Amino acid sequence: MMRLDQAPLLGLIDKAFAEVTRGEGISLHEAVALNNHASEPERLAARRQDVDAHWCDVPNADIAANDAVFSILDLKGHVYYAPAYMVWFIRTGYDTDSNSVEAAQRAFNPRGKTEGGRRYRPHEMFSSEQCACIAQYLRYVDEVLDDPSGGSTAREYIDAYWAQFL
């Protein structure tokens, strides 16, 4: 399968994640508060900072400033913020000082995520359409954004897991 260019890939992400909502999932600022061992009132105040109604409304500045959230987010929050980070990285590339470029790839670790004492593989977190979209995204990162002379997290993840969805 051929790699998608930027515009069709952005459309694929929009379509695959169109119905995703955060609901009661952990929010971006709430995850930061949890990571900083905030009290319950501080956590709730942090959650109120996230007024986005859809993942495409998450401000780019919030994405760029918060690179360590995926290890804190619950499954619902993880799936909700994943497309926002993908779109941000596709549009920004490595033309940023933000470490969120790594978060935008590590969100798709083949090992998945542990919640409630159980490990969830990516295909248990994301729909089949979303998995195919993520695989295309990682291919785009590997082939377009990554330096061919360096190591590629995206290539490592494709080889380890995501190739089955291409």
Q: pLDDT tens digits for 125-164?
A: 999 999 999 999 999 999 888 876 666 899 999 999 999 9
The span from the CA of 142 to the CA of 154, in Å, is 5
What pairs with residue 114 in β-bridges? 119
Structure tokens at 112: 């998945």
Q: What is the pLDDT of residue 138?
A: 96
Query: By CB neighbour count within 10 A (0-12 exposed, 13-18 middle, 19+ buried), where does 29 fall?
Result: buried
Q: What is the pLDDT of residue 145?
A: 86
| Closest to 100 (Cα-Cα) out of 151, 14, 28, 149 | 28
How many residues in total does the chain contain?
166
Calculate the average pLDDT of the chain.
Answer: 93
